[in-house]
Amino acid sequence: MANELIADKLAAQLEEGLMKRFDTPLISGEDLQKALGYKSIDALRQAIVRKTVPVPVFTIAHRRGKYALIKDIAIWLANQSIEAQKEINDGLPQT
């Protein structure tokens, strides 16, 4: 339960930061690639083809490219951070 509250708070902070940076609730292209941590736009494209992108990606009628919501990216990033912290804590010796 505590981890969920931490994840929610972190996701809100990340979303706020991403919204300030991109000034829109959705991103695409190189911004999406960088936000998700792909090394190149081609790596993102390949992940889209393989359907392994960790957040929902969609198209918009009469526009080119694939889009994702900043909110979804923030939630995913927060969960990744919480999971990494759990792994670190699980590896520590119990006192």
Residue 35 burial (CB count, 10 A): 21
What confidence score (pLDDT) does residue 18 get?
A: 93
Per-residue pLDDT of the chain (95 residues; tens, 9 = 90+): 677 788 889 999 999 999 999 999 999 999 999 999 999 999 999 999 999 999 999 999 999 999 999 999 999 999 999 988 888 877 766 55
Write down the pLDDT at residue 92: 64
The pLDDT of residue 30 is 96
Note the pLDDT of residue 7: 84
* pTM to 2 decimal places: 0.86
Question: Please, what is the Cα angle at 66 between 19 and 69, to 5 degrees?
Answer: 30
